[in-house]
Structure 1
Amino acid sequence: MTAPLRVVVVDDEPAVARLHTRFVAAYEGCEVVAVAGTGPEAIATVQELEPDLVLLDLHLPGCSGLDVLRAVRAGRGRQPEFIAVTAARDFDSVRAARLAGVRHYLVKPFSAGDLYARVDDVVREVTAARAVDSALDQDDIDSLIGGAPATAVLPKGLSVETLDAVRVALAGAPWSSASDIALTVGISRVTSRRYLEHLAHTGAAARRLDYATAGRPSTLYAAR
């Protein structure tokens, strides 16, 4: 990517805003063009500067991060990508943020590596968008949307509705076990693992072993 990714950091805690700014500044190919500390300031800043990416806290004075999202999405200006960075990890907050148009959802506190994994995704899309000068084919569209191809068929016993609920729940934390997701969605641990393994198999989720627990290592999952 030739031009750097222009980023606006939005957080009402100055120390947190400075930390996130340092994270972004250390990522090669990104530059922070502004920092906003309130909802109205965030709306005005994003609409004026038209950045590529916004790191958005959901709990803001003046109006919420969700209100910021909706205001920007309803505008006619250039539309940035949003990564929600928040302490809220309940199902309703994650789902509302997704429906309002966030690209990723990170729960505080998170590491620079957690953030960079999400920024990598945005960088790939922005780079592709700058390079495309013709109509997209279906594979290109599926790649940009981030989901499985429309022709994909779910394995027997899996439903689209439950899969969507698992996706949303998985976006609420950097790494989760099948038991964590089962509790959030309201399904059994065995069923949760089936959906998580399907997401991992299709590339929609990452998977790693956790050796911190006694006995056999447990499997953790994270949204890609």
Structure 2
Amino acid sequence: MIRTLIVDDDYRVAAIHAASIDRIPGFSCIGQAHTAAEARQAVADLGPDLLLLDVYLPDDDGLSILRGLNSHDAAPPDCIVITAARDLSTVRSAMHLGAVYYLVKPFGLAQLRSQLEAYRQWRQHASGAGEADQATVDTLYNMLRGPAPAARADALSPTMQKVLDTIRASPIPLAASALATQLGISRPTAQRYLTELHRRGALQLHLEYGNAGRPVHRYGPAATV
């Protein structure tokens, strides 16, 4: 369970976010803070895994909270900045301080849910053991961006459509090497199509860890609701 603390000066908005979090599998809202002082105390008392952090707070800048957390010896909680601040200097500061994502208000609850689910997948895969090759690193970074809008079927190239159809027809998730053998294409080409379809949200990635070494990337159809 990802224990989440909401930090927002607007009581109504904080309550809405808290209710949304409690409806997302794998997340639990453990508290709400409406000032920087309350936020710092709640982090110390509750030890959250994730902060949903506003920048504009009545007693301090929200980024100063993130800056202070990074100065502690203990590992800080992850942070998704949720704010109306649109200036690039604030965005750069949040990124520099380690925010895993930056959501600009206003946004829909569906967008918040999508980003939290992307964060959950990222957290799950980033906590695995073993080595990370470049494909793994690229996948982890792409996960934090959330799924891209699904492309229409007629927007796919013939080869990409064939890759998608093959994955959907397979009873088990496939690695690029197995897909390449089935379609008669090179492994790098198969991996390129798989990565792009995963980025578009059409495929789901399964990282299979063995006893040692790099994880095997296998792909299956994206879950539907």
> Alpha-carbon deviation of 1:146?
4.0
Q: Among 72, 77, 85, which residue is 2:74 paired with? A: 77
TM (normalized to structure 2)?
A: 0.59
Runs of 5+ in structure 2 lacking a partner? 150-194, 201-225
Instruction: Provide the secondary structure at the position in 2 that maps to 1:55.
Output: strand
Q: Among 102, 105, 110, which residue is 2:102 paired with? A: 105
2:132 matched to 1:136?
yes
Runs of 5+ in structure 1 lacking a partner? 148-166, 168-174, 176-200, 207-224
Corresponding residue pairs, total: 153
> Alpha-carbon deviation of 1:40?
2.2
Structure 1 pair 64/33, CA: closer, same or farther in 2 (3 Å)?
Answer: same
> In the aligned structure 2, how far is the partner of 1:204 from the partner of 1:84?
25
> Alpha-carbon deviation of 1:31?
0.4
> In the aligned structure 2, how far is the partner of 1:203 from the partner of 1:102?
26
Per-residue CA deviation, residues 133-153 of structure 1 (Å, 9 max, x unaligned), is 334333333333449xxxxxx
> In the aligned structure 2, how far is the partner of 1:15 from the partner of 1:78?
30
> In the aligned structure 2, how far is the partner of 1:79 from the partner of 1:55?
13
Instruction: Provide the secondary structure at the position in 2 that maps to 1:89.
Output: coil
Partner of 1:123: 120
Structure 1 pair 138/94, CA: closer, same or farther in 2 (3 Å)?
Answer: same
Partner of 2:25: 28
> Alpha-carbon deviation of 1:204?
11
Structure 1 pair 109/79, CA: closer, same or farther in 2 (3 Å)?
Answer: same
2:13 matched to 1:16?
yes
> Alpha-carbon deviation of 1:202?
6.4
Do the aligned partners of 1:50 and 1:77 also contact (CA within 8 Å) in 2? no
> In the aligned structure 1, how far is the partner of 2:198 from the partner of 2:90?
21
> Alpha-carbon deviation of 1:50?
2.6
Q: Among 95, 98, 101, which residue is 2:92 paired with? A: 95
Partner of 1:45: 42
The percentage of aligned residue pairs carrying the same residue is 33
Do the aligned partners of 1:50 and 1:78 also contact (CA within 8 Å) in 2? no
> Alpha-carbon deviation of 1:27?
1.0
Structure 1 pair 48/146, CA: closer, same or farther in 2 (3 Å)?
Answer: farther
Structure 1 pair 9/145, CA: closer, same or farther in 2 (3 Å)?
Answer: same
List 4+ stretches of structure 1 deviating above 6 A: 201-206
90-99 or 18-27: bigger deviation: 90-99
Do the aligned partners of 1:46 and 1:72 also contact (CA within 8 Å) in 2? no
> In the aligned structure 2, how far is the partner of 1:204 from the partner of 1:105?
21
